[in-house]
Amino acid sequence: MNWRQQLERQWYSGGACSALLRPLGALYCAAAGWRRWRARPSPGVLPSIVVGNLNVGGSAKTPVSIALLHHLQVNGWNPAAISRGYGARPPQEPYAVCSDDLPAHAGDEPLLLRAVAPVYLSRRRHTGIVAAAAAGHDIVVLDDGFQHLALRPSISLLLLQGERPFGNGCCLPAGPLREGKSALQAADALLCDPAAAASPELIGVSRPLFRYAQQVTRLHSLFDPLQELPLTALQQRRVHAVTGIARPERLQRTLESLGAAVILHAFPDHHVFRQRDLAHLPAPLVMTSKDAVKCAGLSDLPEIWVLEIGIHWEPAFSDWLDRRLAQWRKAP
């Protein structure tokens, strides 16, 4: 375990290093609050739904964004996704992601979103929204846009996970928070997994709170997505889990819940896989969809299976969302 992983563990379980960093965390928190207070956001040319979090690291923003895009399509919208493209190097901005782009070019999360709807990369979100409007889209979903204060979104959703959704309650580097808990008031609604929804830390929060859950949908071959295994095939089977996500232990827990004996090989978040990372590992390997898009161009790999995760939210959230969106629905 490297120093960064040790510090992140202390954010939730306590430790001397995290405690020593509390003064820096207080300064960071004050600066983030001042930045939000002085922001003068303006709306985009299209209605927008922002998906974000207060904590650093993964919190299911991309799966929730994908579920939102599906929901919008089913309900007659023509959505696009806007992303800053973490780690991406597009030739220009805004950039319309192509389905055959390399992860080093477009980023891993935009490629996942591109399988559902068109995606525009732009660090300046207003510019990306203008490009989506010019292409005929009527609404946009912003993956990880809660801290982009230049935009006033139509709907702002904040995701919370785990029994301690705010960790130790401190801002970086003393804790996991990008902003203080007062930023909850900037959200229109909170989407919480079962553990966060039951957390006493959310008692008395004035924002609407809805529950969601992540569910394993299928297990398919990296090399042939039509080739599937039943999830029961993992029971009492030894598998090597390979991942470059922010919370690798979540993949391990998911596989163990399916009955697998897991050996975890964790790489840094957004890691771009190379041949040498995987070729020496014994089959079968299991990875997430986010990892799989970074392995599509590799060859001579062992047996690799991709675990797809879907999002299911309570019906009350769909009703709330559709009511909020009704004001932007254009008459036929």
C-beta separation of 254 from 213 below 8 A: no
Q: What does the pLDDT look like over 212-257, one tens digit per residue?
A: 999 999 999 998 889 999 999 999 999 999 998 888 888 999 999 9
Average pLDDT over residues 69-73: 98
Q: What does the pLDDT look like over 244-300, one tens digit per residue?
A: 888 888 899 999 999 999 999 999 888 888 888 988 888 889 999 989 988 877 777
Per-residue confidence (pLDDT) for residue 324, from 0 to 100: 95
Per-residue confidence (pLDDT) for residue 2, from 0 to 100: 66
Task: Classify residue 326 by burial, with Cβ atoms within 10 Å: 0-12, 13-18, 19+.
Answer: exposed
Per-residue confidence (pLDDT) for residue 268, from 0 to 100: 85
249: number of Cβ within 10 Å: 12
Q: What does the pLDDT look like over 322-332, one tens digit per residue?
A: 999 999 986 44
Alpha-carbon distance of 41 to 36, in angstroms, equals 10
Q: Identity (one letter) of the amino acid at 229?
A: L
Q: What does the pLDDT look like over 156-198, one tens digit per residue?
A: 999 999 899 999 999 999 999 999 999 999 999 999 999 999 9
Query: β-strand 119-121 against 95-96: which pairing, if any?
Result: antiparallel
Q: What does the pLDDT look like over 3-58, one tens digit per residue?
A: 777 888 889 888 899 999 999 999 999 999 999 999 999 999 999 999 999 998 76
Per-residue confidence (pLDDT) for residue 219, from 0 to 100: 95
Per-residue confidence (pLDDT) for residue 332, from 0 to 100: 45
What predicted TM-score, i.e. pTM, was given to this entire model?
0.92
